């Protein structure tokens, strides 16, 4: 990743985003912990991710906007609005204000969808293609790697100073990110094409996704994975409480373990993608995640933390490969819509599994559910591994290479 970190514009983006991601990681577990404490329900805690994922189903509307505005200014505005929009969480004081937990989770989901789609397009416009995997790897390593300190920091601040202090921390980091985008030199203009009917424009990203065989296979693998994987958001609390006999705050340690794995996955992702290609990298990452979920059935803390480390590595590897594939296979004027269409497809299936998981966790033994979820994820990995990645350039003067089948 040294090459991309020598790019001044990317370094500025990376610094601002890393600061913002620290705030996000600090707030990450708070809605679920509040839900668990106020209701005592594993399902209620898992549903916080349901509301976080809900905006992803409507994210193609954001993609339509992203492809028609200055992405740098869009990111500035999104960061500033997000910093203000998370403040309702400070008003959660008991069961009567519990609904604000889900409202804040929805706001966080909107922010994630907007930043993800716009940032993907911005990186494509300022970086050469051979540095995209490194850029995505660096950002994902920061995003997931901050689980090492973010959740522990968030829980510590929440325990010592209350919910308001955690929200203030995240709001300040959003301001730092907005400042970084504000001082970023204006990126080159994105080439445009003649606009068609509104309906055709809104569906352009999904149609491109369906027409490209590589993107289509990647989307199929992620959708199959999320068909049941969303249930793990409720299952993790059942594993911690019933399997390990620990309280909900132990999720700070499992998230930290995921961060350790994510650092490894993010650092290794560019090399894996360069050697094997995006689709095999996606399949390998999903397979690691599926194996990790199966290990959750073993009620031993060291095994659980090791499994979470493996899950972090797998999810980060698959995520970096997916983002890189979308950037390489999408034209600049469409990338916002393609990226958000991908998020909507995967998010829609995840949404269904989140609801199912919240219900089933109280009806079916969590170990049985974990086995079913793990096997489904491994089938998704097999789907990706059966494909091959397109030919691509590794860098100037290095010629063309083709990944293995």
Q: Is the pLDDT of residue 241 over 90?
A: no
Return the pLDDT at 238.
Answer: 81
Give the CATH number, domain containing residue 40: 1.20.1250.20
Confidence band, pLDDT 50/70/90 cuts, at residue 268? very high
Mean pLDDT for 322-345 is 88
- Average pLDDT for 213-219: 93
Cα separations (Å) of 166 from 8, 154, 375?
31, 6, 37
Q: Are 321 and 285 in contact (CB under 8 A)?
A: yes
- Taking only the tens place, the pLDDT of each residue in 161-172 is 888 898 999 999
Both structure tokens of 373? 């979820």
Phi, psi of 396 (to 5 degrees): -60, 130
Please state, in angstroms and rounded to a whole number, the distance separating the CA atoms of residues 140 and 315: 10
Instruction: Give the pLDDT confidence score for residue 92 in this predicted structure.
Output: 82
Q: What is the pLDDT at residue 98?
A: 80
| Domain carrying residue 395 | 2-401
The helix or strand, by DSSP H or E, that contains position 351, with its residue range, turns out to be helix 335-360
What mean pLDDT comes out for the span 48-62? Answer: 79
Percent residues over pLDDT 90 in the chain: 30
Say which residues have a Cβ less than 8 Å from residue 291's Cβ, sequence separation at least 6.
Answer: 310, 314, 374, 378
Helix (H) / strand (E) containing 361 = none
CA distance 118 to 77: 11
Nearest Cα neighbor of 151 from 223, 236, 77 is: 236
* Overall domain count for the chain: 1
pLDDT tens-place string over residues 172-193: 999 999 999 999 888 766 655 5
Closest CA to 173 of 335, 337, 22: 22
Question: What's the whole-number mean pLDDT along residues 20-41?
Answer: 81
Q: Residue 252: how many CA atoms within 13 Å on its side-chain side? A: 19
The length of the chain is: 405
Q: What is the pLDDT of residues 120-145, one digit of tens each?
A: 889 988 888 889 999 999 998 888 77
- Highest mean pLDDT among 56-60, 185-189, 238-242, 383-387 belongs to 383-387
Helix segments in 67-98, DSSP class H: 71-85
- Reduced to 3 states (helix: H, G, I; strand: E, B; else coil), residue 68 is coil
Q: What is the pLDDT of residue 392?
A: 58
| In the block, residue with structure tokens 């996606």 | 282
Alpha helices in 230-250 (DSSP H): 232-238
Mean pLDDT across 77-86: 91
Q: Which residue has the tokens 């990452």?
A: 285
- Give mean pLDDT, residues 280-306: 93
User: Average pLDDT in the 264-293 region?
Assistant: 93
Instruction: Provide the pLDDT confidence category of residue 205 given band limits of 50, 70 and 90.
Output: confident
pLDDT over threshold 80, residue 217 = yes
- According to DSSP, residue 401 is labeled E
- Residue linked to tokens 């096997």: 375
H/E run at residue 5? helix 2-5
């Amino acid at each position: 990743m040294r090459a991309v970190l020598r790019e001044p514009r990317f370094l500025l983006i990376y610094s601002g985003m890393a600061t913002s991601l620290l705030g996000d990681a600090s707030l990450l577990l708070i809605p679920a912990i509040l839900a668990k404490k106020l209701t005592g329900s594993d399902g209620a805690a898992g549903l916080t991710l349901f509301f976080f994922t809900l905006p992803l189903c409507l994210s193609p509307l954001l993609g339509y906007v992203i492809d028609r505005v200055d992405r740098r200014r869009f990111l500035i505005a999104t960061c500033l609005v997000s910093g203000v929009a998370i403040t309702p969480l400070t008003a959660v004081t008991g069961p009567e204000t519990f609904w604000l937990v889900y409202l804040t989770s929805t706001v966080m989901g909107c922010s994630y969808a907007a930043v993800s789609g716009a940032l993907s397009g911005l990186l494509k416009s300022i970086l050469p293609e051979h540095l995209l995997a490194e850029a995505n790897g660096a950002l994902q390593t920061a995003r997931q790697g901050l689980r090492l300190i973010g959740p522990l920091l968030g829980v510590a601040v929440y325990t010592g100073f209350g919910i308001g202090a955690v929200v203030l921390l995240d709001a300040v980091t959003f301001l730092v990110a907005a400042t970084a985008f504000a001082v970023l030199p204006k990126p080159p203009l994105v080439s445009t094409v003649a606009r068609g009917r509104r309906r055709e424009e809104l569906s352009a990203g999904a149609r491109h996704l369906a027409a490209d065989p590589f993107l289509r296979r990647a989307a199929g693998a992620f959708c199959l994975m999320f068909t049941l994987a969303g249930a793990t958001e409720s299952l993790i609390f059942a594993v911690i409480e019933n399997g390990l006999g620990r309280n909900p705050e132990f999720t700070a340690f499992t998230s930290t373990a995921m961060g350790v794995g994510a650092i490894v996955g993010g650092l290794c992702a560019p090399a894996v993608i360069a050697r094997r290609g995006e689709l095999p990298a996606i399949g390998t990452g999903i397979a690691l995640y599926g194996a990790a979920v199966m290990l959750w059935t073993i009620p031993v803390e060291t095994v659980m933390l090791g499994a979470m480390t493996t899950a972090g590595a797998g999810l980060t590897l698959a995520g970096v490969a997916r983002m890189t594939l979308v950037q390489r296979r999408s034209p600049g004027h469409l990338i916002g819509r393609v990226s958000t269409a991908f998020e909507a497809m995967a998010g829609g299936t995840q949404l269904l599994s989140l609801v199912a998981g919240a219900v089933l966790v109280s009806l079916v033994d969590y170990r049985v559910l974990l086995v079913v979820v793990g096997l489904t994820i491994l089938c998704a990995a097999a789907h990706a591994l059966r494909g091959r990645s397109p030919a691509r350039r590794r860098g100037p003067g290095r010629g063309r290479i083709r990944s293995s089948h």
